[in-house]
Copies of this chain bind each other. A is one copy, B any other.
Amino acid sequence: MPLTHEEIVDAAVDVLRRHGLADLTMRRLARELGVQPGALYWHVPNKQTLLVRVTERVLADVPIRRSGHPAADIRRLAKGIRAAVLPIPDGSDVVALSYALDAEASPVFVQLRTLTGELADSATTAAAAQALVIHHVLGSISDEQNRRLADLPTHGAAAAFDRGLDLALTALTATSLPRSVHG
């Protein structure tokens, strides 16, 4: 049976999960799948696009629920992203790259945009808040993964993550009265 697009993304996620981004090469992937490197290029245009597909897959399990309380939903979403990406070596780099290439690459990104929009008093504030949260989430994960790589302690990481999230959300709900349960 012929190689499928799905199989390639599966194998890519697997290599990333087990060995990190440095080992996630097109050649390595081909070896893992028992084909020649060139075969991959019949199914995938290039490595960058493949990494975006990997991001979609990794973020696909993050639950997107709505409670009517945007701040609480943002908090849950941010924690969900962290939980999904943290166990994957270099996961934050891959997700950041995909977010940069395509800000609609995952429903998770879109949902975050919607939620900050409901909480902010203006469109510019909403955009700034969305960016602040995304940068906090991906930056925190990146720092934590790098600390792990360098064998530095990460005991307070989860609490620090929450504290940073609080700071960002405090500012949002302070500058504007929450319009909360309106959607």
Which A residues fall within an 8 A CB radius of B?
96, 100-101, 124-125, 127-129, 131-132, 134-136, 138-140, 142-143, 146, 150, 156, 159-160, 163-164, 166-168, 170-172, 174-175
Given A128-B163, A135-B138, A135-B140, 8 extra CB contacts under 8 A: A100-B143, A128-B160, A128-B167, A131-B143, A132-B136, A134-B139, A168-B171, A170-B175
Q: How far is the CA of A170 from the CA of B101 in the complex (A)?
A: 30
A130 CB, nearest partner CB in chain B, Å: 10
Q: How far is the CA of A135 from the CA of B96 in the complex (A)?
A: 12
A106 CB, nearest partner CB in chain B, Å: 16
The residue on B at minimum CB distance from A132 is B164
Residue from the list B132, B139, B150, B166 in contact with A167, Cβ < 8 A:
B132
Tell me whether A124 and B170 are in contact (CB under 8 A). Answer: no
Residue from the list B134, B135, B146, B172 in contact with A101, Cβ < 8 A:
B146
| Residues from chain B with Cβ under 8 Å of A96 in the complex | 139, 142
| Residues from chain B with Cβ under 8 Å of A159 in the complex | 124
Interface pairs A-B: 7 shortest CB-CB: A135-B139, A128-B163, A171-B171, A100-B146, A167-B171, A128-B164, A170-B171
